[in-house]
Amino acid sequence: MIERSAGPAELADAIDVCRDHLGDLVAGLLVPAAAAEAAGFTAHLEAAGWDVAGTCRAAAGACLDSLAAAGAEPPDETAVAGWEALGHLGGRAGLDPEAFAGFMQVVTRRLSQHLARLTPLSGWAPATAESIRDRLEVVRLVAVVSYQRGYSRQRDRLHRQNQERIRSLLEVVRAAASAGSLERLVRRTLPVLSRATAMPHAALWLRGQGGEPELAGVFCSDSEVRELLARGATFHEHLERAFRHPGGFAVAIPQADREEPLHVAGAGLWTPAGVVGAILLMRRGSAAPAAEVVSFLCDAGEQLAPIVETVAESDSNSGTDPLTGLSNRRQLESYLRERELSSRRPLAVALVDLDDLKVLNDRLGHTAGDAALRVVAATLRAAARETDHVARIGGDEFVVVLDDPGAQTGADFEARCRELLPAVAREVGITFPVGFSFGWSSGDGGWRQLFEIADGNLYERKRSRRGTPDPA
């Protein structure tokens, strides 16, 4: 039997079939995979005007068009540019060339199988399918090499862009670090990160003594997001991820009372010795954070980690909050652990939040915010007895531990604080109003249980005052 050879028209017909099928295969495999590798990648690019699937089809079609005329010769510059454009998109998504090479192997294998099924039905000569398979191998090699080139150029560009932003960030961070205060570092750094990434809410967690995340500072104007941050459960899974694995991530957290999710970009702060903490950036809305946000946050975290570690260690060793002179979280927990071993007397715990610290800072400046914090600290100290322990444990958060409160109730202590507040404010010399919210718990239970109950009471009182539903 004489085998029929492929004619030019038959070969052109087969290439037309391949062009459409190849583009669809690349788009169908690459786009979902990219979306899985970098959350929100496709939606962000297409919102910015990038047609990802169209780029895939154009690159594949241009390659086959040039091969139709040139046989198995290398494709022309237009075809190469198409794959480089795809690499450019992959660089934005962080979809590495090795993964893309794997996709192209699957694509060419599937298309070869499709041709094998189509050849007898179309009446093509076996040589036609063989010729197409040769061309597909050239397409695959050109695609992988060109994608690598586009990917590398884009990643280099992003890296240079990130380094410029990080240099500006480090000027602020180093200035805060030189003051030796974690609070000042947090207060100056988080707003810079927020502005640099267009993510309006930011939070820093540190690795606690037991390895658990401890909220160290928040930059956030959304009261519901602040409540979510304070309670912590919503972000626990993502903080664990940041504490266990270097690198960044982006997730969308559904909100039961809202149509749009809360988008979160995060990265751990890692030093050679291990994880120091984590930064999460947040915003509401339908648009996911850009891949550049995660990339920038990873680069920034690498630079921030040793500075945060040094300042946090210095703050913790001092045992004192530098702004108010109260105990800090470390000293408070040390006091409670020692008391747990040495005394069985009942405890009462008051959790106190300064109201609207973010609004004060935004409208009147951080000097006003600092003054308000000192007023709350002085008021709590004046209302407490010598045997009680007063501490500042976060940006706007205070704790009062009443040792053996006797007949005194939470309402009694709160009333005494509110009675003392105007005189203390006059003494400090502020003229704007200062308010605070209380959560209270007492009994013979362990101090950790009392803290949980007081935190729940504080949350409920603030929520009922706002008259808003419980956020998811």
pLDDT band per the 50, 70, 90 thresholds, residue 6: very low
Confidence of residue 267 (pLDDT cuts 50, 70, 90): very high
Instruction: Name which residue leads in pLDDT, 277 or 39.
Output: 277
Quick: pLDDT tens for 367-406. 788 888 889 999 998 888 888 889 988 878 899 998 877 7
CB-based burial label for 401 (10 Å; 0-12, 13-18, 19+):
buried
Tokens of 168: 């500006």
Which pair of structure tokens corresponds to residue 160?
């240079």
Tokens of 128: 């036609």
Amino acid (1-letter code) at residue 336: L
What is the pLDDT averaged over residues 19-47?
54
- Asked if residues 17 and 42 have their Cβ atoms less than 8 Å apart, the reply is no
Whether 279 shows a pLDDT value over 90: the answer reads: yes
pLDDT band at residue 41, thresholds of 50, 70 and 90? Answer: very low
- Please determine whether the domains at 179-318 and 329-466 fall in the same fold group of CATH: no
3-state secondary structure of 214: strand
Cα–Cα distance, 247 to 424 (Å, whole number): 47
How far CA 185 is from CA of 17, 163, 416, 446, in Å, comes to 61, 20, 34, 33
Collapsing DSSP to helix, strand or coil, 201 comes out as strand
pLDDT in tens, 116-142: 777 676 666 677 667 777 777 777 777
* CATH for 8-155 (1.20.120, 3.40.190, 1.10.3470, 1.10.490): 1.10.490
Whole-angstrom distance, CA of residue 393 vs CA of residue 324: 11
Range scoring the smallest mean pLDDT among 4-18, 205-219, 337-351: 4-18
State the pLDDT confidence band at 470, using cuts at 50, 70 and 90. Answer: very low
pLDDT at 302 (0 to 100):
86
Q: How many Cα atoms occupy the beta-carbon half-sphere of 102 within 13 Å?
A: 6
Measured CA to CA, the distance from residue 112 to residue 261 in angstroms comes to: 42
Beta strand 201-207 with 262-271: parallel, antiparallel or unpaired? unpaired
DSSP string, 67-130: HHHHTTSPP-HHHHHHHHHHHHHHHHHT--HHHHHHHHHHHHHHHHHHHHHHHHHHT--HHHHH
Tell me how many helices (H) and strands (E) the chain has: 15, 9
Top-confidence residue, 299 or 268: 268
Higher pLDDT, 70 or 97: 97
Name the CA dihedral angle for 184, 188, 190, 195, rounded to a multiple of 10 degrees: 170
The chain-wide mean pLDDT, for the chain, equals: 76
Query: What does each C-alpha distance from 399 to 346, 362, 419 come to in angstroms?
Result: 16, 25, 18
Closest to 442 measured CA to CA, from 414, 464, 463 = 414
Supply the pLDDT for residue 66: 67
- Domain formed by 179-318, architecture: 2-Layer Sandwich (3.30)
Q: Are 127 and 71 in contact (CB under 8 A)?
A: no
Q: What is the DSSP letter of 160?
A: H
Higher pLDDT, 13 or 157: 157
* Class of 329-466 in CATH: alpha beta
pLDDT higher for 130 or 24?
Answer: 130
Over 80: is that where the pLDDT of 264 sits? yes
Over 80: is that where the pLDDT of 99 sits?
no
Does the reported pTM lie above 0.95?
no
> Which amino acid is located at 41 in the chain?
F
In the numeric block, which tokens belong to residue 179? Answer: 């003051």
Q: Are strands 389-392 and 248-253 parallel, antiparallel or unpaired?
A: unpaired
Higher pLDDT, 348 or 315: 348
445: DSSP letter: S
Give me the half-sphere count of Cα atoms (radius 13 Å) on the Cβ side of residue 205.
28
Longest CA pairwise span in the chain (Å): 109
Query: Pick from 22, 138, 148, 30: which is nearest to 83 by CA?
Result: 148
The domain ranges of the chain are 8-155, 179-318, 329-466
pLDDT at 277: 92
In the sheet that 201-207 helps form, which strands lie side by side, from edge to edge?
213-219, 201-207, 274-284, 262-271, 248-253
Q: What pLDDT does 202 receive?
A: 92
**In terms of DSSP bridges, do strands 201-207 and 274-284 run parallel, antiparallel, or are they unpaired?**
antiparallel
Angle ∠(136,137,140) on CA atoms, nearest 5: 85
Cα 351 from Cα 384, distance rounded (Å): 13
The residue written with tokens 């927020």 in the block is: 194
Please check whether residue 136 is in contact with residue 112, taking contact to mean a CB–CB distance below 8 angstroms: yes
Phi, psi of 437 (to 5 degrees): -120, 145
Whether residue 200 contacts residue 280, with contact meaning beta carbons closer than 8 Å, is answered with no
Cα separation, 370 vs 188, in Å, equals: 13
Give the pLDDT of residue 407: 66
Q: Which residues lie closer than 8 Å to 135 by C-beta, 6 or more apart?
A: 15, 64, 67, 71, 72
Provide the pLDDT for residue 133.
Answer: 74
